[in-house]
Amino acid sequence: MAINNYITLGHSGLRVSPLCLGTMTFGNEWGWGSSEEDSHKILHHFFEKGGNFIDTANVYTRGHSEDIIGNFLQKDNFRRERAVIATKFFGTLYPGDPNAGGANRKSIMAACEASLRRLKTDYIDLYWMHCWDYHTPIEETMSALNDLVREGKVRYIGFSDTPAWKVAQAQMIAQFRGWAPLIALQIEYSLLERTVEGDLTPMAQELGLGVTPWSPLKYGILSGKYTRENKGKVDLARGEWIASQLEKERTYEIVDVLIKVAKEANSTPPRVALSWLQGKAGVTSSIIGARSIEHLDDNLGALELKLSDEHIKALDEVSKPELNFPFDFINNSGPFRSAETTINGEVVGASPMAPKTDAERFDKAPASVR
């Protein structure tokens, strides 16, 4: 697969590249990131290679990320329609103002107008709710988003970082009221974060939502630069986000296998981690971050990597998550449900609960009708 082998996002006709360029690192306001000049070089390279999907948020580098993208869209007669620009609302840029963030109608409308100004565009291709606002009724959020779509300021909508049951509720409300539906789900998903496989990714597949994983390299931990050998010697620029992960033995167990697979596949750890993730059910376009063109090219190379079944199995086993009830109960319910059958290719074994012979069954017809 190549970056210009586009995929429709969820139950929509929106074509996006199989990797999405995340722009949380555009700007130096947080103490790390890329200058505007370097960010524009990365954007130019991404589009030149065939990518078209860009992800940002109103709060990234305090609004500078959106501004950097907006300035790029104005450069060199760049055709705005070429880009699929996704941004988010929810985060506040004005501490002390209770309506400056969240997902109520007032905050959504204000955030959208501000993002449009910074992005220097008339419309947003995909507008994400950055996180569930449990203080706001979900029908109010969906109604406001539907209005933005009807007004032409937003083309499509999606949710990020929201429980599966709340996403399902929102999608059903939209469906039955004839409102603009959700087409995508943005969630953290990687070899080091697989608990989404319990509810979120199956829900997304069932409801027609394309999954766009964020932090597919887990804050860079899966890049291969954090190993047992240099434990405690690396510069933890992002503080607790990374430090807490590097205190866990499980992290190094996964990284060990990742590096081993990368060597055997004559590839790099980032490419292996991304290739593994892109092969997961429901995943449409993983969101990659890059602070240099070299990092970007390394990530894009994941699309050309085909992992062997043995390598996928090794990565699956070492990163297998513990999922909440009732995942295991349902997953092991085959013999309980339909013992000694094959359904949709699933071979089901014997059940210790089912009768073994006709004589053991209590639902035999009365003698008068035999």
Annotated catalytic residue within 60, 127, 189, 219: 60
Cβ-Cβ contacts under 8 Å for 159 (sequence gap 6 or more): 128, 129, 132, 167, 170, 182, 184, 185, 186
Sign of the alpha-carbon dihedral angle for 103, 104, 107, 111: positive
Contact, 290 vs 296, CB < 8 A?
Answer: yes
60 is catalytic: yes
Residue 201, SS3? helix
- State whether residue 221 is helix, strand or coil: helix
Single out the residue of 78, 10, 86 nearest to residue 48, CA to CA: 78
The Cα 288–Cα 42 span in angstroms is 12
182 Cβ neighbours under 8 A, 6+ residues apart: 10, 157, 158, 159, 167, 170, 171, 174, 207, 209
Residue with tokens 């996006």: 16
The residues that are catalytic are 60
